[in-house]
Amino acid sequence: MELNEYQRRANLTDQRPSTEEDDQMALVFPLMGIASEVGSLITQYKKHVRDGDAHPLFSQRIKEELGDVLWYVANLAGKLNLELDEIASLNLGRAAERWPTEGEEQPARLLDDGFPPAEQLPRQLTVVFEEVDVEGRQKLVMTSDGRRLGNPLVDMNRDPDGYRFHDAFHLTYAAMLGWSPLLRDLLGLKRDSDPEVREVDDAGRALFIEEGLSAFIFNYAKEHNFFEGTSHIDSEVLRTITGMVSHLEVRVRTINEWQEAILRSFDIWRSLMVDGGGTVSLDLPARRIDFEPPGD
């Protein structure tokens, strides 16, 4: 049976059809029904755990309860002028984006492939993180091919938390997403050949958004052991991130790509923290970033 056909036939049995006078109350009925039937599902499973084979109708009862949930979902969708076919398609698309099939290849194209080589992010890059004495104070310095990148950094926090190593995040975004306005700024790689791209994707607002994202993710990670031993990030956090960059070129990257990049960035960050620095190597075509301890 097609979902839309099921929805049509299910809604013929609606005993609380919507009217112009009480639309909001009409919505309360299926919402409470969904919550109630989910509770019934849990009750059936509790009986199954408790009684095992002594609850022989478990499978039949579960089918009945799931059917009741589906009826209320169809009813709510109909009262909101939505179709189950459309809802199912949207859900499958979101699921495929969030958890792609194992072995599925991600798009290989880098975001600046069509620009002159002098305006592209370097396809390979090595950056050295080193803590040095600067005017009597230990600060973090980044260099690439002997050239200093940016200013010496400290944590800028009353309680040291390692944020001075946060450029590991920007480097990972560059390596795995092909995107980092901040790295472009540090390397002087603005895309002047396209004024609109330079203004929208390479300039002030994009820079602030990337820095803001790094701070936002860092504060979230701090509450989750800096993602050590973690393989998933909360979907709402990922959707907040993709919403923040929805007008930028990186919007083509999926939430799963963002998740992989964020988790990898904290792998690199933790290594830098433990060793007090080290060397980070980027390979953009391979979407790879690696760490070597100091002295290696």
Nearest to 77 by CA among 87, 64, 69: 87
For 244, other C-beta atoms within 10 Å of its C-beta total 14
pLDDT at residue number 253: 93
3-state secondary structure of 191: coil
Nearest to 210 by CA among 172, 162, 263, 236: 172
Report the alpha-carbon distance of residue 106 to residue 4 in Å, rounded.
Answer: 33
Amino acid at 168: A
pLDDT at residue number 281: 98
Nearest to 129 by CA among 276, 231, 287: 276
Amino acid at 193: S
DSSP 103: T
Residue 219, CB-side half-sphere exposure with 13 Å CA sphere: 7
pLDDT at residue number 228: 96
H-assigned helices in the chain: 3-11, 23-51, 58-79, 84-98, 167-177, 181-187, 195-201, 204-222, 235-244, 255-275
| Residues in the chain, pLDDT under 70 | 19-22, 54-55, 102-108, 296
Distance from first CA to last CA of the chain, Å, rounded? 63
Burial track 81-109 (b if 16+ CB lie within 10 A, e otherwise): eeebeebeeeeeeeeeeeeeeeeeeeeee
| Residue indicated by tokens 């050239």 | 147
pLDDT at residue number 172: 98
| Residue indicated by tokens 């290696």 | 296
pLDDT at residue number 170: 98
59-82: pLDDT as tens digits: 888 999 999 999 999 999 999 999
Domains and CATH numbers, the chain: 3-98 (1.10.287.1080), 117-292 (no CATH)
